[in-house]
Amino acid sequence: MIPEIEIATRTKYNIEFNEESEVWVYGDRRSTRSAKTVKGAYQLLRMTYVIGFLKEQLRNNKSSTLRELYYISENWDIAKFNEQQESDRLIEDLEIISTYQREHFHIRPEEDGATVVGPLRIREETRRGLREIHCQEDVGEGGYQIPVNVDKIEFVEHDAKFVIAIETGGMRDRLIENGFDERFDAIIVHLKGQPARSTRRLLRRLNSELNLPVVVFTDGDPWSYRIYASVAYGSIKSAHLSEYLATPSAKFVGIRPSDIVKYDLPSDKLSDEDIKALNSILSDPRFDSEFWKKEVNLQLELKKKSEQQALAKYGLDYVTDVYLPERLTEMGVI
Residue 94's pLDDT is 86
Residue 216's pLDDT is 97
Q: Which residues contact 289 (CB under 8 A, 6 or more apart)?
A: none
Q: Which CATH architecture has domain 4-108?
A: Orthogonal Bundle (1.10)
Q: How confident is the model at residue 113 (pLDDT cuts 50, 70, 90)?
A: low
Residue 272's pLDDT is 94
Residue 227's pLDDT is 94
pLDDT digit string, tens, across residues 4-28: 787 777 777 777 666 666 666 777 7
Residue 236's pLDDT is 60
Cα(105)–Cα(254) distance, rounded to whole angstroms?
37
Residue 243's pLDDT is 72
Residue 137's pLDDT is 85
Over range 296-321, report the average pLDDT.
Answer: 91
- Helices 84-98 and 38-59: crossing angle in degrees, nearest 10, is 70
DSSP code of residue 10: -
Each domain of the chain, given as residue ranges in start order, spans 4-108, 115-330
* Ramachandran area for residue 332 (φ above 0: left; ψ -120 to 50: alpha; else beta): left
Going by CATH, does the domain composed of 115-330 fall within 3.40.1010.10?
Answer: no
Q: Which of 261, 143, 262, 254 is nearest to 202 (CA)?
A: 143
Over range 79-85, report the average pLDDT.
Answer: 85
Residue 66's pLDDT is 79
Residue 312's pLDDT is 84
Lowest mean pLDDT among 16-20, 83-87, 170-174, 260-264: 16-20
Higher pLDDT, 13 or 280: 280
pLDDT digit string, tens, across residues 229-255: 989 987 665 556 667 788 999 999 989
How many CB atoms lie under 10 A from the CB of residue 281?
20
Higher pLDDT, 257 or 241: 257
Active-site positions read: 71
Q: What percent of the chain has pLDDT over 70?
A: 93
Average pLDDT score over the chain: 86
* Ramachandran area for residue 32 (φ above 0: left; ψ -120 to 50: alpha; else beta): beta
Residue 194's pLDDT is 84
Q: Say if residue 182's pLDDT is above 90.
A: yes
β-strand pairing of 153-158 with 4-8: unpaired
Higher pLDDT, 33 or 273: 273
Q: How confident is the model at residue 70 (pLDDT cuts 50, 70, 90)?
A: confident
Residue 131's pLDDT is 86
Cβ atoms of residues 187 and 164 within 8 Å:
yes
Residue 242's pLDDT is 65
Over range 104-117, report the average pLDDT.
Answer: 76
Cβ atoms of residues 17 and 27 within 8 Å:
no
Lowest mean pLDDT among 32-36, 49-53, 128-132, 278-282: 32-36
* Ramachandran area for residue 74 (φ above 0: left; ψ -120 to 50: alpha; else beta): alpha
